[in-house]
Structure 1
Amino acid sequence: MPDRPEALIDAFVAAWNKADADALAELFVEDADFVNVVGMWWTSRSQIRYNHAYGFRHMFSETTLSPLKVSARYLNGDVAVLHLLSSLTGQVKPSGERAGDRIAVLTFTVARQSENHWLVVSAQNTDRVPGAQTFISNGSELTPGNYERRSVREEPMK
């Protein structure tokens, strides 16, 4: 079991890259929350395991999740917020063709369970859409939108 918050990131990436839904789910408390990139909200370790297992079987079996940047902010000695900027390669489209690469930010709220044992309490995965500031709804679908004529840039990464 992870003995420090940052080790949860390493364990999550390792479980993902092995397409191991059981190992991934074991990183979460029993009543954990996980919001995926399209807003599906899973509210238990078993839902997190089930839905990741489905994903590994149908769309993510040959993917590689690569950390690009990791940060940890300790809220106190027993709670921390982790951010993982990552790239994902190898996703398969419903047609069976290979999809393009994705960049996402995963946010994890983690809590100490015992002296040397940390688990994820809540997580959210957010895809980055290059050049977009928001999504715009036409009633039946969302499309990326940008209200500025110049390209949108973030503050430089530290």
Structure 2
Amino acid sequence: MNAKDQQDIRAVMSAATDLWVAHDMEGWGRYFTEDADFVAHSGLWWTSRDDNVEGHLDVPESVVRQKRNYTQRVEAIAEIAPGVALVHTRWDWPDHVQAGAQPEDRSGIISYVVVEHDGRWLIRSAHNTRVS
């Protein structure tokens, strides 16, 4: 995988993270293929971009306000085949509060499969795992 592809993938991950933090789920969804799979840390499995976006819209406003604390960084990018890459990210969400619970520092790893589609990289699959 060449340096430009890696740079483009990092840019996709950065932009998608910024949109997620802003809770612009429609914008965030544009970084996924139409048939994208997303497995949430809770075990929910969405099998299309539309279901993924809708599922991520269904969160309480109290959680949306907390997204400003969320960060995600690319840890590794590996080419699987021409136009296909595996990306691992680590995320941190300090002071996350669920209704009726004490604040907790959350963190996790997301494994992404990204594909080159019409000259741009899109997320085809994501699997989010909490580690804390």
Q: TM-score, normalised by structure 1?
A: 0.71
Letter in 2 for 1:127: R
Query: Taking CA–CA contacts closer than 8 Å with sequence separation of 6 or more, which of the two structures ends up with the larger relative contact order?
Result: 2
Question: Is the CA contact (8 Å cut-off) linking 2:10 and 2:74 kept in structure 1?
Answer: no
The equivalent residue for 2:81 is 76
| Pairing of 1:63-102 with structure 2 (within 5 A) | 63=67, 64-95=69-100, 99-102=103-106
Letter in 1 for 2:12: L
The equivalent residue for 2:59 is 55
Q: How many percent of aligned residue pairs carry the same amino acid?
A: 25
1:5 aligns with 2:9: yes
Gaps of 5+ in 1: 130-158
Question: Is the CA contact (8 Å cut-off) linking 1:60 and 1:91 kept in structure 2?
Answer: no
SS in 2 for 1:5: helix
Question: Is the CA contact (8 Å cut-off) linking 2:21 and 2:70 kept in structure 1?
Answer: yes
Letter in 1 for 2:66: E
Question: Is the CA contact (8 Å cut-off) linking 1:61 and 1:91 kept in structure 2?
Answer: no
How many residue pairs get aligned? The number is 126
Q: Is the alpha carbon distance of 1:52 and 1:37 closer, same or farther for their aligned partners in structure 2, counting shifts above 3 Å?
A: same
The equivalent residue for 1:134 is none
> 1:100, CA displacement in angstroms?
1.1
SS in 2 for 1:19: coil
Q: Is the alpha carbon distance of 1:20 and 1:38 closer, same or farther for their aligned partners in structure 2, counting shifts above 3 Å?
A: same
Question: In the TM superposition, what whole-angstrom CA distance separates every residue of 1:86-112 from its partner, at most 9, and x where no partner exists?
Answer: 1013433122x6631111001110100
Question: Is the CA contact (8 Å cut-off) linking 1:55 and 1:61 kept in structure 2?
Answer: no
> 1:57, CA displacement in angstroms?
3.3
Query: Among residues 113, 117, 121, which one is paired with 1:118 in the alignment?
Result: 121
- Structure in which a larger fraction of residues adopt helix: 2
Letter in 1 for 2:113: T
Please, what is the CA RMSD of the aligned residues?
A: 2.1
The equivalent residue for 1:127 is 130
Question: Is the CA contact (8 Å cut-off) linking 2:74 and 2:87 kept in structure 1?
Answer: no
Q: Which has the larger radius of gyration?
A: 1
| Pairing of 1:32-47 with structure 2 (within 5 A) | 32-47=36-51
Moved more, 54-63 or 13-22: 54-63
